[in-house]
Structure 1
Amino acid sequence: MLKNIDPLLNADILHALCAMGHGDEVVICDANFPADSVARQTVLGRVLRLDGVSAPRAVQALLSVLPLDTFVDHPAERMEVVGDAQALPAVQREAQKEVDAAEGRAVPFAPVERFAFYARAKAAYCVIATGEPRGYGCFIFKKGVQLAPDAPQQN
């Protein structure tokens, strides 16, 4: 067992997150998302699983080790509700709290239309499928960099 690593993050997920580079994207999706077929088209080429875990809890675990990209306007994105682009279902509000807590500041999700989300997910580094039963528990995160304490800070 490793110290200070969220126990939800299994070896396959940690390996994928470590292998990702700055600007690569990871998808966390709900149980309704076509995770297996989409993941086959990603860089990793297979789905990673967190069965029995809610999407907000998966976001919390992921962001405990993954820095978000500070060079882009929207390093965190959510699947837009079909027919109501402004709607924020409970699962997305809960995940937003996890993002803000992990970053220590507000980092609002940008909406991505459903079919555009599928296309982006196929181009991602990897897809992490959760057991989230609620719809629209689907998110994209862009990996940033973790600077050494004495390195110049990012904007």
Structure 2
Amino acid sequence: MKKSALINSELSFLVSTLGHTDEVTICDAGLPIADHVQRIDLALTHGVPAFLDTVKVYLGEAQIEGVLMAEEFKRVSPELHNALIDIIEEEKQATGKAISVAYVSHEEFKVRTHESKAVVRTGECTPYANVIFQAGVVF
């Protein structure tokens, strides 16, 4: 049995197959997911699992170097956005690696998810609680 926190087999397999700059989206319950992109659906009910809980577990397994969010996220849901930024800052400190943070419109964000290797759907029901993580390298 795995020793790390991530025990979901689909998500664990995804992380183990990521290459440098591959992208993974973690989203709320309402983000549309393109048919051609792998869907890892963790949603059970409203709020379960929570967006931030999913992000924390993912970051416990995956090295990232970039983050992309919708501009609307910081304006419409500032509390959750700021909590995500805090987690990203903690990740920078823990890994000693630079992590770029960028923003696009929500419409551009939805199109960009089509390039993700997978989209992980949570039960989060906070507007614009979506993030694209770009894989980094551990060396």
Query: What is aligned with 2:101?
Result: 109
Partner letter of residue 133 of structure 2?
Answer: F
Segments of structure 2 that go 5 or more residues without pairing to the other structure are: none
Q: 2:51 aligns with which of 52, 55, 59?
A: 55
Query: Counterpart of 2:91 in structure 1: which amino acid?
Result: A
Whole-angstrom CA distance in 2 between matches of 1:123 and 1:145: 19
Q: Which structure's CA Rg is the greater one?
A: 1
Q: 1:6 corresponds to which residue?
A: 5
Extract structure 1 runs of 4+ deviating beyond 3 A: 105-109
Aligned to 1:78: 69
Give me the whole-angstrom Cα distance separating, in 2, the residues matched to 1:11 and 1:33: 22
The alignment's TM-score, normalised by the length of structure 1, stands at 0.76
Q: How many residues align?
A: 131
User: For structure 1, which runs of at least 5 residues remain unmatched after alignment?
Assistant: 70-74, 148-155
Q: Compare the two structures and name the one with the higher strand fraction.
A: 2
Q: 1:90 to 1:14 in 2, by over 3 A?
A: same
Instruction: Say if 1:108 and 1:22 are closer, same or farther in 2 by CA, change over 3 A.
Output: closer
Structure number with higher relative contact order (C-alpha < 8 Å, ≥ 6 residues apart):
2
- Does residue 1:95 correspond to 2:84, yes or no? yes
Q: Which amino acid aligns with 1:79?
A: A
Provide the TM-score with structure 2 as the length reference: 0.84
Contact 1:78/1:92 (<8 A) preserved: no
